[in-house]
Amino acid sequence: MLLKDEVGMLRRVPLFAGVDPSKLKLLAFTSDRVSYTAGQTLFNQGDEGDAAYVILSGTADILVDSAAGPIKVAEAEPNSIVGEIAILCDVSRTATVRAAGQLETLRIRKEDFLRLLKEFPEMTVEILRVLADRLSHTTADLIDARSRRN
C-alpha cells in the first residue's frame, strides 16, 4: 500500500482527524503495517504496552481474563484504536486483542504516539472522549450484569 493511502486511512480515524497531513505522513512512515489472520493475537493481557494499533480493516475481539476463561468484552472495528491505555497509563495491557478474521493494522510505537499527543492537544481530547465512552459502556455492562445476578 502506498504512503498516501495509509495517510488517507489515518485521516478517517477520529483520533487523527485534526492532525496536519504532513504529520500523518510522518506517522504512517514511522509506523508498521501489520496483517493478522483469524485467531492471531496482537497482544496479550499483562504484556508491556509498547505500541498502539489502528484498525485499518477487519475486526478484532477484545478479551479479558476471568476465572471461567477469556471473556469477550468488546470488538474493535475499522478506524478505531486499541492498545493506547497501556501507553497512556504506563501499565501492562488491560486486555488481550485477537483478530476475529483477516485484520490489517497500523502499529504505532509508544514514542511516536506520545510525541503526537504532545504536538496535537486535540488528539488528547479525542482520546479522553474514547476512553470516557468505553468507561461508560463498561459501567453500564457491570450494572446490567449485577442486576441479572441478583
Closest CA to 14 of 140, 138, 126: 126
Could you tell me the residue range of the domain that residue 129 belongs to?
3-149
Measure the CA angle with vertex 74, ends 58 and 69; round to 5°: 110
This prediction has a pTM of 0.84
Greater pLDDT, 115 or 58: 58
Q: Could you please report the per-residue DSSP string of 42-92?
A: EE-TTS---EEEEEEES-EEEEE--TTS-EEEEEE-TT-EESHHHHHHT--
pLDDT tens digit sequence for 61-108? 999 998 999 999 899 999 988 998 888 888 999 999 999 999 999 999
Q: What is the CATH number of the domain that holds 128?
A: 2.60.120.10
Domain total in the chain: 1
**Does position 143 have pLDDT exceeding 90, yes or no?**
no
pLDDT tens digit sequence for 19-71? 788 888 888 888 899 999 999 999 999 999 999 999 999 999 999 998 999 99
